[in-house]
Amino acid sequence: MRISRKKKKSQPKKHYAYNESITDPEVLVLGEEGERIGILNTTEAIKMARAKELDLVIINPKSTPQVARIMDYGQFKYQKEKEDRKKRAKTHVTETKGIRISLRIGPHDLDIRRKQAIKFLDNGDKVKVEIILRGRENKQTDMAKDIINNFNNAISETTNIRVEQSIEQQGNKITCLIAKQ
């Protein structure tokens, strides 16, 4: 049984321009409560925010002019990071787990592999079932395909599965990719 341990890529953090890092000469300013103040010169808007002991933060950099809001930058950044953590906690990256069986596998070992595959499928992962043929086994491709079919049928008795990639032979490997419906 092979378990994939790929390193996860970290996503780049969003950077929000605030105060002196704002490059546009004019911005559309929103107040603390979200009320529209109007289009102001950036330096005037920063002075207005500083008078209230707050920061001027760009919240929509793609619009013309950019939309900035008067708020506490530290609190804003904390709230955005908190939202990102909640989103990351709810997401599940689908991995492909590998189950390797052979032509000479015993019924007990096959049952263990079946239970492991069901566990992977219940976690939302895909399962790649593979048989590697060695030596004289290379002539027994029909037997290997039957074993994979029987393995898939045994799994489908307890779990609804769909075959994403039908049984294929690639050199001395015979593989099949299954996922939960």
Same domain for 173 and 113:
yes
Tell whether the model's pLDDT for residue 9 goes beyond 70.
no
Can you give the CATH number for the domain in which 30 is found? 3.10.20.80
Tell whether the model's pLDDT for residue 14 goes beyond 80.
no
Average pLDDT value over all residues in the chain: 90
Same domain for 152 and 121:
yes
Q: Which residue has the higher pLDDT, 92 or 53?
A: 53
Q: Is 101 helix (H, G, I), strand (E, B) or coil?
A: strand
Is position 105 within any domain?
A: yes
The last residue of one of the domains, among 45, 71, 90, is 90
b/e sequence 155-175, b meaning 16+ C-beta within 10 Å: beeeeebeeeeebeeeeeebb
Same domain for 84 and 26:
yes
Same domain for 76 and 23:
yes
Tell whether the model's pLDDT for residue 2 goes beyond 80.
no
Residue 11 is predicted with a pLDDT of 60
**152 secondary structure, DSSP code:** H
Same domain for 83 and 119:
no
Same domain for 83 and 106:
no
Please tell me the distance from the alpha carbon of residue 53 to that of residue 82, in angstroms, as a whole number. Answer: 24
pLDDT band per the 50, 70, 90 thresholds, residue 1: low
Residue 18 is predicted with a pLDDT of 87
Same domain for 106 and 50:
no
pLDDT band per the 50, 70, 90 thresholds, residue 126: very high
The last residue of one of the domains, among 61, 90, 119, is 90
Residue 35 is predicted with a pLDDT of 92
Same domain for 85 and 117:
no
User: What is the number of structural domains in the chain?
Assistant: 2
pLDDT band per the 50, 70, 90 thresholds, residue 88: confident
pLDDT band per the 50, 70, 90 thresholds, residue 16: confident
Q: Which domain holds residue 130?
A: 96-180
Residue 17 is predicted with a pLDDT of 87
Tell whether the model's pLDDT for residue 73 goes beyond 80.
yes
